[in-house]
Amino acid sequence: MIGILLVTHGEFGEEIKRSAELIIGPISNCQTISLNRDDSISNLKDEVEAALDSLNQGEGVIVLVDLVGGSPFNVCSVTLKQRRNFKLLSGLNLSMIVEGAMMRETMRLDDLTKHCKQTGINSVIEVNP
């Protein structure tokens, strides 16, 4: 099963995971890492490395971060260059997690990444009165 790692500023990752679980039930092989005000980037890097090792059951890990250019994104993108079998997407939203968790047993990592990206894009709409 493809692992899911949410790396975010503050407790956003934990709370959005909790929201997804309200919709689809418990999400196995999924971890969150929070970067808080007094946390060091070095510790964040160590946490990301440990989580990737823990979550990778052979089919890879999809990493979802909240903000392009933020510290979670920067740490994960550097890690991407040093590892294989994991994909990074920014712009984390609830639709991406729900869809990723439901589809990860039927898709390969590359396809799941594309699917989650498109799901995230499609979930942002403008509603005009």
Q: Is the CB of residue 29 less than 8 Å from the CB of residue 62?
A: no
Stretch 84-91: mean pLDDT: 95
pLDDT at 67: 97
Q: Is residue 100 part of a domain?
A: yes
Q: Is residue 128 part of a domain?
A: no
Band of pLDDT at residue 129, cut at 50, 70 and 90: confident
Number of folded domains that form the chain: 1
Closest CA to 20 of 44, 1, 4: 4
2-27: per-residue pLDDT in tens? 999 999 999 999 999 999 999 999 99
Residue 25 sits in which domain range? Answer: 3-123
pLDDT at 39: 96
What is the Cα–Cα distance from 40 to 25, expressed in whole angstroms? 33
Q: Is residue 129 part of a domain?
A: no
Band of pLDDT at residue 84, cut at 50, 70 and 90: confident
pLDDT at 33: 99
Q: Is residue 113 part of a domain?
A: yes
pLDDT over threshold 90, residue 127: yes
